[in-house]
C-alpha cells in the first residue's frame, strides 16, 4: 500500500507497506434447530470447510445444500463421528464446522469407492497417486470406518506417498458399529475413502499421536489369524478367552471391546502398537480388529486409566508444539472412541489438556473416531488406535 509522507524540511516521499495475509479460520458448532444461524456467523470466504457430523444429525443434506449455495467454490471434507469436538466442547447430535480461508495454499479433494475390485490397499494407493504432485506438502485422509482394513489402507498410502506426511482418521458411528459415512462436497458417501491434498511451501504442518493405556493380564501368542481376524491365542478360541477376561462387560460386546483394546508386538523385541476391536463373530469364535493381527505376534489386553489418557493427550500437544515459532491457526484432534467411553463425562478434560498447551488463540476442531492415521517415528503414515492424534495447520 503506497503511503504519502512529508518530513520537517518539506520534502515529500512515498514508501510501501506490505500487506501480508495468512489463513483465516472460523470454527462453530451447529445443532439441528439453529444450524442456519450458526452458518450465518461465518465471516470469511472459505476455500475449505471441514465437517465432523453426528450420525444422528438428521438434516445433513439440508446443511450441505446450504453450504453449496453459499460457498460453491469451497471444498467440503468430512465424516461421521462418535462425538464432535468444537473448541474444548465435546457434543453429540451436532456438526463441528470449520471454515478455512487459505491465502497461499492450494487444495485438491479426491475419493475412491471400496468394492470387490478395490480393496483397502488399492484404495490407499489410488488416493496417493491422484494427489501426488511435486509441491504436495501434506495429505489428510478420512475413510469409512467399518468396511476398511486400516493397516492395508495405510500400506497403500505409503506405497504411493513414501515421502509425504499423512494424517486423518476412520469415520465412526457412535457405539453402534452399523454405518459410517464420509462427506465430499455436497455428497454423503458410504464405503469410500477421501484424500485431501495441501500444496505449496507456505503451509506449516505438525502432528503427534499419544495413547495412555495400561496393560493387564499375561502376554499371549497369536496362533491363528487371517489379516485383521483373530481366531486363536495360545491355541484356544479367542472369543471365549476374551469374554472370560472381560467378565460382565462381555455382555455388551462389541461396543464394550472399545474399553479393552490390545497391544501387539510382532516379535519379543518389537515395540508394541495398540489395536482396537471392531467386531466379533460368534459363529467362528473370532475377534475382528481394525488392523492386521499377524500369526506369531504377541498380544496383551489393555484397559483405560483416566489420568494416563488425559496425560497422553497433553503429551501429544507438547510434542506437536515443540519448537514452533509461528502461531498455530488450526488444531485438528482425532481421538479414538474408546478413550471417550473410558473418560465419560471427563472427555472434555483431554481437550482442555491440549488447549492448555497450545494456547487460547488457535481454533480447535475434531472428532472421536474408529482409528487414527499419523506419522510414527521414521514412518510418515501409520495406523493408530486409542490415541489422541493431533494435526496443526498454519500458513507463513
Contact 285, 253 (CB under 8 A): no
In whole angstroms, give the CA distance from residue 215 to residue 153.
Answer: 27
Note the pLDDT tens digit of each residue in 189-242. 999 999 999 999 999 999 999 999 988 889 999 999 999 999 999 999 999 999
322 CB contacts (<8 Å, ≥6 apart)?
A: none
Q: What is the pLDDT of residue 196?
A: 99
For residue 309, report the phi and psi dihedrals to the nearest 5 degrees. Answer: -65, -45
Q: What is the DSSP letter of 128?
A: H
Q: What is the pLDDT of residue 272?
A: 84
**Which single residue is written with the C-alpha cell 502461531?**
327
In whole angstroms, give the CA distance from residue 267 to residue 227.
Answer: 17
**Which single residue is written with the C-alpha cell 446450504?**
66
**Residue spans of alpha helices (H) in the chain:** 35-40, 60-70, 120-131, 150-160, 238-246, 306-321, 337-343, 347-358
Cell of 70: 453459499
For residue 290, report the phi and psi dihedrals to the nearest 5 degrees. Answer: -85, 0
For residue 247, report the phi and psi dihedrals to the nearest 5 degrees. Answer: 65, -130
Phi-psi region of 323 (alpha: psi -120 to 50; beta: other; left: phi over 0): left
Q: What is the pLDDT of residue 269?
A: 83
Q: What is the pLDDT of residue 395?
A: 94
Concatenating the DSSP letter of every residue in 61-103 gives: HHHHHHHHHH-TTSEEEEEE-SSEEETTEEESSEEEEEEEE-S
Note the pLDDT tens digit of each residue in 280-329. 999 999 999 988 999 999 999 998 889 999 999 999 999 998 877 678 99
In whole angstroms, give the CA distance from residue 158 to residue 165.
Answer: 9
Q: What is the pLDDT of residue 325?
A: 64
In whole angstroms, give the CA distance from residue 224 to residue 226.
Answer: 7
Nearest alpha-carbon partner for 232 in 303, 148, 293, 151? 293
In whole angstroms, give the CA distance from residue 383 to residue 380.
Answer: 10
The domain limits of the chain are 24-211+307-395, 213-304
Q: Which residues of the chain have pLDDT under 70?
A: 1-21, 325
In whole angstroms, give the CA distance from residue 181 to residue 145.
Answer: 8
362 class by beta-carbon count within 10 Å (0-12 exposed, 13-18 middle, 19+ buried): buried
**Which single residue is written with the C-alpha cell 506369531?**
296
Q: How do strand 220-226 and strand 388-395 relate by DSSP bridges?
A: unpaired
247 CB contacts (<8 Å, ≥6 apart)?
A: none
Helices and strands, number each (H, E), in the chain? 8, 29
Rounded mean pLDDT of the chain? Answer: 92
Nearest alpha-carbon partner for 390 in 337, 321, 341, 324? 321
394 CB contacts (<8 Å, ≥6 apart)?
A: 22, 23, 203, 204, 326, 327, 328, 329, 330
Amino acid at each position: 500500500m503506497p503511503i504519502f509522507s512529508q518530513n520537517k524540511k518539506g520534502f515529500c516521499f512515498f514508501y510501501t507497506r506490505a500487506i501480508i495475509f495468512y489463513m483465516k479460520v472460523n470454527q462453530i458448532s451447529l445443532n439441528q434447530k439453529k444450524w442456519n444461524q450458526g452458518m450465518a456467523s461465518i465471516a470469511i470466504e472459505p476455500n475449505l470447510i471441514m465437517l465432523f457430523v453426528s450420525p444422528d444429525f438428521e438434516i445433513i443434506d439440508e446443511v450441505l445444500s446450504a453450504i453449496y449455495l453459499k460457498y460453491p467454490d469451497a471444498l467440503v471434507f468430512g465424516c461421521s463421528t462418535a462425538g464432535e469436538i468444537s473448541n474444548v466442547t465435546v457434543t453429540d447430535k451436532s456438526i463441528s464446522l470449520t471454515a478455512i480461508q487459505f491465502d497461499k495454499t492450494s487444495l485438491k479433494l479426491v475419493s475412491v469407492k471400496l468394492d470387490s475390485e478395490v480393496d483397502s490397499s488399492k484404495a490407499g494407493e489410488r488416493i496417493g497417486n491422484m494427489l501426488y504432485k511435486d509441491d504436495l506438502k501434506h495429505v489428510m485422509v478420512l475413510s469409512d470406518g467399518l468396511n476398511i482394513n486400516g493397516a492395508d489402507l495405510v500400506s497403500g498410502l505409503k506405497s504411493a506417498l513414501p515421502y509425504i506426511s499423512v494424517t486423518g482418521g476412520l469415520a465412526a458411528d457412535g457405539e453402534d458399529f452399523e454405518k459410517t459415512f464420509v462427506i465430499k462436497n455436497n455428497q454423503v458417501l458410504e464405503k469410500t475413502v477421501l484424500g485431501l491434498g495441501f500444496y505449496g511451501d507456505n503451509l506449516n504442518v505438525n502432528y503427534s499421536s499419544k495413547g495412555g493405556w495400561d496393560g493387564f493380564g499375561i502376554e499371549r501368542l497369536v496362533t491363528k489369524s487371517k489379516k485383521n481376524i483373530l481366531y486363536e491365542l495360545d491355541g484356544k478360541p479367542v472369543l471365549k478367552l476374551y469374554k472370560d477376561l472381560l467378565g460382565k462387560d462381555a455382555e455388551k460386546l462389541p461396543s464394550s471391546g472399545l474399553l479393552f483394546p490390545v497391544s501387539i508386538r510382532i516379535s519379543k523385541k518389537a515395540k508394541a502398537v495398540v489395536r482396537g476391536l471392531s467386531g466379533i463373530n460368534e459363529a467362528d469364535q473370532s475377534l475382528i480388529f481394525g488392523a492386521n493381527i499377524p500369526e506369531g505376534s504377541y498380544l496383551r489386553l489393555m484397559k483405560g486409566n483416566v489420568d494416563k489418557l488425559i496425560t497422553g493427550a497433553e503429551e501429544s500437544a507438547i510434542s506437536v508444539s515443540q519448537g514452533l515459532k509461528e502461531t498455530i491457526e488450526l488444531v485438528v484432534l482425532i481421538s479414538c472412541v474408546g478413550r471417550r467411553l473410558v473418560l465419560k463425562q471427563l472427555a472434555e478434560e483431554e481437550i482442555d489438556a491440549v488447549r492448555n498447551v497450545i494456547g487460547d488463540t488457535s481454533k480447535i476442531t475434531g472428532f472421536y473416531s474408529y482409528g487414527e492415521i499419523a506419522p510414527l517415528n521414521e514412518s510418515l503414515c501409520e495406523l493408530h488406535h486409542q490415541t489422541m492424534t493431533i494435526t496443526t495447520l498454519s500458513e507463513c
